[in-house]
Chains A and B, each alone.
Chain A
Amino acid sequence: DAKTTQPTSMDCAEGRAANLPCNHSTISGNEYVYWYRQIHSQGPQYIIHGLKNNETNEMASLIITEDRKSSTLILPHATLRDTAVYYCIVRARSNDYKLSFGAGTTVTVRA
């Protein structure tokens, strides 16, 4: 599976949109982009995933560039409860369904 690069940390203001970048320049055509987050001392929570089209759900929006080499997770109105480590993961469509977690981005939402 392709490697991803994310900033180590970022701060954002409560009520504002949080834009989390992820670079996956070696992604191949059959690989999905997944986003999870982990709030302190809890299991990871699924946020969203996509292949090549932009996706939106009740939690967030995922914007994937046309060349698929990078993506941005958008939390439209960040709240203090969105403070977490956010993981961008690339996973191939294969039979093993494994996820490889990197260091992620520590997002701190400030009042």
Chain B
Amino acid sequence: GAVVSQHPSWVICKSGTSVKIECRSLDFQATTMFWYRQFPKQSLMLMATSNEGSKATYEQGVEKDKFLINHASLTLSTLTVTSAHPEDSSFYICSARGAQETQYFGPGTRLLVL
């Protein structure tokens, strides 16, 4: 139980294009999902908290107009990186809040912007 999937697992795109990453809770409903970013040899950094049916809450320093988050259902949240640039290349990981307030993480999406 408590499985979270992400799609795609990796993506390569050209600078200036937008990329959408999906996060799904497969066997539970999640009113709250989170998006993290991890650069090489660094720890996970929380980007935003996504609540179903409402606007996401972004952490300080994260541009909300660049990282668009939609949480339209209890099992799906999406992160769109708009006008991606090479410095946005990173490992993006989502999590979903499940039973006992525990967060369960997806496998991550590796983004490379050329």
Instruction: Report A's interface with B, CB cutoff 8 A.
Output: 34, 36, 38, 41-46, 49, 87, 93, 96-104
Contacts and interface: CB of A to CB of B under 8 A. Distances in A.
A23 B72 CA distance: 39
Given A96-B49, A98-B49, A103 B43 contact: yes
Contact of A46 (B32, B45, B104): B104
B3 to A, nearest CB: 11
6 contacts: A38-B44, A43-B107, A87-B43, A97-B32, A97-B49, A101-B43
Contacts, number: 51
A102 B32 CA distance: 22
Interface stretch (B14-22, B62-70, B78-86, B95-103): B95-103
Contacts of A96: 49
A43 B93 CA distance: 6
